[in-house]
Structure 1
Amino acid sequence: MKKEVARKSTAGQLKLREAMLSFKYRQFRNPLERMAHIVNDGAVRIVDAYNSKKFSKIRIKRAVKTVRQGPLVSKIGRPAVVIGEKEQTVLYEIKIESLSGASLTIKKMCELIENVVNDLKPENTPDVADFASVAYDFIKKHPELKTSKPKIVDANRLANNSYNNALIFNVEESSLRVPDSSNRNVVHLGNAKHGFAESVVRMANSTLIAAVAADGQSLPLVILWLRLKVPVELKPLQSSNLEIWLNKCVWMESSTFRKYALTILLPSIKERRQHMSLDKSHCLLLINSHISRADPTIWREFKKENVDVVTFVHHSTHICQPLDRGVFAVLKSELSSQYEAPSSSSSAAKRTALVEALQQSIHSALSPSTIKRAFKCSGELKDSSGSVLMKLPQSSTYPLHSH
């Protein structure tokens, strides 16, 4: 067997040598291009070209591929690139796709290049189908083309269903952190050691639970406070629109969310719907898909009241959740500017300063214009008429996972 392989290899080497010196292929001055044409014509096997060791396997392979694709696709022995008329055509098609707002993925770009090359290829040459690396080479060649990760849009939620703006709600929590000056930079001479800034123990964080509607209105707020009793300094915050709940942790867990959903959120939605004489109209509730929301008993109650509950795709709330896009951003910005650190380092003084800053910050963050702008920026509203790009799945499922 080995002798037979050696005999074929020797015969192939002789054929290759004769073909390289023959008059038929003398027109190709580049030895690599000449070898590629010999292999493409079937005069010798490609393995004989490899065994000649005159060129590397990858260069021979690319050269043969180039000969089969045509002279306008790439240069002999180099990775395949689109050049000439085909290059300008592909670039024009990409610009058209980009201006139309379509998402041109690498796979679609490969298909585009393949179609353009095959439409413009010379006659009597085979169709080209392998463009896995050509798209990346094309992008590198043209600095005006960039790649980036697209924003996620859940296509299952695109529907013709329309909800009244006053019946589209978003619920979320946000940490209330007192601005800390201990981590700010100090200026000093390069040859001198920097000093030390005095700092006291930070006040414990708290959490604000908010619910807003697309018509610019907000539902009652809740602040989760990590204490056994409500501090005296926080009592001015308590009103019909804001409650302070004592909680064993500063974030919203299952029991806390259940209490908020059944005692504040659902009753407020029902009251609003009755006030508008829309008792039978469906409402839309947008929430994140955190495990604390995975309580089917809650969602059965909401379903009875015709409240459609939809969760966001994982890691997309910073893009498509109204509270994250606008309301909480304004809240934290206002809180940072309104809060004035007290001269006293006592916790009571800090709480007093926090209350003073919160009153103005909450008022600014929950203004109708801010809420409406947040819904518009998040893409929940199709247009000003109130059509929304969300709906429940066809089957009756509860938001145990993001839909």
Structure 2
Amino acid sequence: MILTEAQELAVFRFCLEHLEAGLGATPSIIFAAICHLRQQETHNPPSIVWFQQWLKKNPNLYTIKTKPIAHLRVATHSEEDLKTFFVEYQNTLSKYGIGKSKYIYNMDESGVRVGCPTGEIVIVPTHVKELYTASPENRKSITIIETICTDGSPPLPPVIICPGEKIMDEWIQENLTGAEMIAVSQTGYTNENINIALAWLDHFINHVGAGPTAHWLLLLLDGHITHHKDDFILKCYENHIVPLVFPSHLTHVLQPLDVGVFGPWKHYHNKAIYNALHSRDMEYTISSFFRELSSIR
């Protein structure tokens, strides 16, 4: 037996304490606490497989994903909406003679609040169905605009939008290639700034070799307000680029960049934040765990 009955109860109370604090105990914290406890008793730490099986069979605990309340949203879509979009997509390809994947591009932007994590997996008592964590609103945000091609070729250099009025020297890191484009806005988002949208379009035209005599390209976009501006649309067609906008309520279903690029980017951004937070609090966490154990004994 890895854990005694008293230790099992201590783990439960420890999870409950974190829940009441509005945080939630992550699997890594619980596993680390159990391993530390075993080491203190001169026993070998359990394997991660044992921990996963123990958690799965535990009648009092399970995992849920926390929900930062500022990010909650409800979206609806129908099968008919999807069919309508793909009919338009196929008609556009036929009309402009776009028959190869190398002529189809997708762009999108995604922002993060620097230093603010999203939801994470935590262990809670089984009577808990949801856990909302505080979501700070006063942090700086940055936005990245990415562009990919359906033929799987390397993505275009990104456009990075930082909050401010001018580009600062300290933003230029050694790991940048030099092909990236850095822009600024007051908020760190594109907002309704057509100048940023046009600057990105020039960036796109330059890197894909678009132009009045080049082959027609299809550009899949979200429904951002700047993509409907006359200047943006005219520059697209002048350079043989056909903009096709996803339905606004279907971007989370149709947008390739959300899964292929922004998903991993936000995952590692989130992981870096939680690693910093948990490494700082681990000593307190272990101490809290032993207090629970001592109170039961």
Q: Report the TM-score when normalising by structure 1.
A: 0.39
Match of 2:99 in 1: 163
Asked which structure has the greater CA Rg, the reply is 1
Match of 1:218 in 2: 155
Residue number among 196, 220, 224 corresponding to 1:256 in the alignment: 196
Q: Distance in 2 between matches of 1:290 and 1:240?
A: 27
CA deviations on 1:311-332 (whole Å, 9 max, x unpaired) are: 1112111111211242211221
Correspondence 1:74-89 to 2 at 5 A:
none
C-alpha change, 1:330 and 1:163, in structure 2 (3 Å) is farther
Match of 1:25 in 2: none
C-alpha change, 1:304 and 1:325, in structure 2 (3 Å) is same
Q: Distance in 2 between matches of 1:306 and 1:182?
A: 39
Match of 2:66 in 1: none
Quick one: which amino acid aligns to residue 251 of structure 1? Y
CA deviations on 1:33-66 (whole Å, 9 max, x unpaired) are: xxxxxxxxxxxxxxxxxxxxxxxxxxxxxxxxxx
CA contact under 8 A between 2:227 and 2:233: conserved in structure 1? no
1:176: Cα distance to partner? 2.4
1:238: Cα distance to partner? 3.8
C-alpha change, 1:231 and 1:182, in structure 2 (3 Å) is farther
Q: Distance in 2 between matches of 1:324 and 1:187?
A: 27
CA contact under 8 A between 1:178 and 1:205: conserved in structure 2? yes
Quick one: which amino acid aligns to residue 199 of structure 2? K
CA deviations on 1:235-285 (whole Å, 9 max, x unpaired) are: 3354323232222222113221122112x0122222xx69xxxx5421111
CA deviations on 1:278-320 (whole Å, 9 max, x unpaired) are: x542111111122122222232222122211111112111111
Match of 2:252 in 1: 318
CA deviations on 1:341-374 (whole Å, 9 max, x unpaired) are: 389x9xxxxxxxxxxxxxxxxxxxxxxxxxxxxx
CA contact under 8 A between 1:163 and 1:284: conserved in structure 2? no
The Cα RMSD (Å) is 3.9
Matched, 1:152 2:152: no
Stretches of structure 2 that go unaligned for 5 or more consecutive residues are 1-76, 125-134, 281-297
Match of 1:176 in 2: 112
Stretches of structure 1 that go unaligned for 5 or more consecutive residues are 1-147, 189-198, 346-403
C-alpha change, 1:225 and 1:181, in structure 2 (3 Å) is closer
Match of 1:230 in 2: 168
CA contact under 8 A between 2:111 and 2:142: conserved in structure 1? yes
Number of residue pairs matched by the alignment = 185
Q: Secondary structure at the match of 2:174?
A: helix
Q: Distance in 1 between matches of 2:218 and 2:252?
A: 19
CA contact under 8 A between 2:164 and 2:188: conserved in structure 1? no
Q: Report the TM-score when normalising by structure 2.
A: 0.51
C-alpha change, 1:301 and 1:341, in structure 2 (3 Å) is same
Match of 1:282 in 2: 216
1:202: Cα distance to partner? 6.2
CA contact under 8 A between 2:105 and 2:220: conserved in structure 1? yes
C-alpha change, 1:183 and 1:162, in structure 2 (3 Å) is closer
Q: Secondary structure at the match of 2:188?
A: coil
Matched, 1:268 2:207: yes
Matched, 1:247 2:185: yes
1:174: Cα distance to partner? 0.2
Q: Distance in 2 between matches of 1:335 and 1:316?
A: 25
1:183: Cα distance to partner? 8.6
Match of 1:397 in 2: none
C-alpha change, 1:301 and 1:201, in structure 2 (3 Å) is closer
1:164: Cα distance to partner? 2.3
Runs of 4 or more off by more than 4 Å in structure 1? 181-188, 199-203
Q: Distance in 2 between matches of 1:293 and 1:200?
A: 30
Percent identity between the two aligned chains: 20
Q: Distance in 1 between matches of 2:175 and 2:140?
A: 18
Match of 1:341 in 2: 276
CA contact under 8 A between 1:206 and 1:223: conserved in structure 2? yes
Q: Distance in 2 between matches of 1:244 and 1:174?
A: 15
Structure with more strand by fraction:
2
More contact order relative to length (CA 8 Å, sep ≥ 6) = 2
1:231: Cα distance to partner? 5.6
Q: Secondary structure at the match of 2:215?
A: coil
